[in-house]
Amino acid sequence: MESAKMIYLTLENYRRLDVITRQKIGKPLAVFDVDALKEEFPHMDIPFANVGMFKGLVTRVPTGNGYTEEDMGAIPYLANYIDSSFDERGGPWLDQRKTPRELIYDFIVHHEIAHILHGDIAFIHHLVGKGKLSQADVNNKTDKAEIIRTMFEYRADKYAWSKVCPGQDMPQRLDLGISNETEKAIKNMQLVMRAHEAELYEAELKNIKPISLDPDEYVPAVHVPGGPPTFETKYIAPTPWLQLFWRRLLRR
């Protein structure tokens, strides 16, 4: 559902996108309530989606004897609405204003799928383990770490764009007068990818096993109780129990 400045995630759209993540990466798609998160963590820079910021706790995982819960690691989390700042986020290699409005959520979900398929979190852990990057670099977002993070974003944008606009080149933000900087940034990304080609391949997610498409199985814990906080869900102010739940859910 779209208004003048907001795009809201409907339950129908969520169910469709959830099927994609279950098939592509073997993980359910979780949704977080932007307003509830803002209220609980007013100083947080809240993303439109994320992999790794929240725990991957999933309930109703089927077993031979019933159901259990499982931490599935990095699962994609999606905001329940997108505001107009979407057009101004991202790298200069992609003019987000050109993303079809009806496909913005598709783009975002495929972007997060790419982070998981590419094994971006595993790659960072690998670099830290090998001493090629320090945890302080990651925590403090030093230039050394940011070139890696920017590479991740470039690859994820390229993957997502190929899914929503197949066969079309990514449109650059030429109106900002930074075409030369864009070309330089892309060349830097390509150099980094070539330098770490073998390691990047090792980090990729392999042997993906799709999970059940039944929405009553593999239910993200953040959806319990009440289901995903989509547009149709009546907003309920966080109770003290839910506030505690958010604190437990956040990896920070």
Q: What is the pLDDT along the chain (252 residues), one digit of tens a residue?
A: 555 578 999 999 999 999 999 999 999 999 999 998 889 888 888 899 999 778 899 999 999 899 999 999 999 999 999 998 898 877 788 899 999 999 999 999 999 999 999 999 888 988 899 898 899 988 888 888 888 888 899 899 999 999 999 999 998 876 655 556 667 767 777 787 888 888 888 888 888 999 999 999 999 999 988 889 888 764 444 444 345 444 555 544
The predicted pLDDT at position 247 comes to 54
DSSP one-letter code for 31: E
Domain parsing of the chain, residue ranges: 7-249
Residue 200: closest CA among 148, 235, 238, 137? 148
63 sits in which H/E element: strand 57-63
List C-alpha distances in Å: 209 to 16, 25, 109, 221.
19, 7, 19, 21
DSSP one-letter code for 3: -
Residue 123 C-alpha from the chain's centroid: 16
The predicted pLDDT at position 193 comes to 81
C-beta of residue 118 within 8 angstroms of C-beta of residue 25: no
Q: Which two tokens stand for residue 242?
A: 């839910």
Q: How many helices (H) and strands (E) does the chain have?
A: 9, 8
C-beta of residue 26 within 8 angstroms of C-beta of residue 209: yes
User: In the block, which residue shows the tokens 């080609």?
Assistant: 197
The predicted pLDDT at position 239 comes to 44
The predicted pLDDT at position 130 comes to 87
Cis peptide before 225 (omega within 30 of 0): yes
The predicted pLDDT at position 186 comes to 72
For the residues of 146-203, what is the DSSP string, one character each?
Answer: HHHHHHHHHHHHHHHHHHHSTT-PPPP-GGGT-HHHHHHHHHHHHHHHHHTHHHHHHH
C-beta of residue 205 within 8 angstroms of C-beta of residue 164: no
